[in-house]
Amino acid sequence: MSDRIFGAVGLLLALFYAWATLQIEESFMSDAVGPKTFPLGIAAILGLSSIVIFLKPDDEPQWPPLARLAEIAAAVVVMILYAEFLPIAGFVIATAFAAAYLTWRLGSSPLQSVIIGVGTSLGIYVIFHLVLGLSLARGPLGF
C-alpha cells in the first residue's frame, strides 16, 4: 500500500512540476530548445516512474531504518541550504561544500570528500562556464 501512495504522490508532484514549468514565460530571444524542455523532461520521467511504482508495487516493501531516513532528511536540508547559499557564496564555493558533504555521507573519507567536492565544483565550472559560456552564480571571489 505504501508504494501506491508513494507512486500517487510522485505523479501529483510530476503534474505540478509540469504545470509550473508551463508557466515560465519565454523571451523572444530564447534558443531553439527553450527553457521549458529540460524541466518538462524531468516531469515526464518522474511521472512515468511514479506510474510504474503505482501499478507494480512491491509485495512487501522494506522501508529504511530511522537512521537512514535521518540521513536522507539531512541530504534534503543540505540541498535546500545549497539553493539558499548559491547566490551568496557563488557556484564554486556552494557546490564544493554541498558535494563534499554528500560524498562524505555516501562513504568517502573526509579528505576524499573535500577533494571530490572541490574537483566536482571546479570541473562543472570549467565545463559549463568556461567552455559552454553559461552563466553561473558569482560568489564573493568573482567566480
What is the tens place of the pLDDT at every residue in 69-118? 999 999 999 999 999 999 999 999 999 999 999 999 999 999 999 999 99
pTM given for the model: 0.66
Cell numbers of 67, please? Answer: 537512521
Q: What is the DSSP letter of 56?
A: S
What is the tens place of the pLDDT at every residue in 14-45? 999 999 999 988 776 666 667 788 899 999 99
Q: Give CA separation, 49 vs 4, 43, 119, 141, in Å.
A: 12, 10, 32, 41
| C-beta of residue 18 within 8 angstroms of C-beta of residue 47 | yes
| C-beta of residue 26 within 8 angstroms of C-beta of residue 37 | no
Between vectors from CA 20 to CA 15 and to CA 23, what angle results, nearest 5°? 130
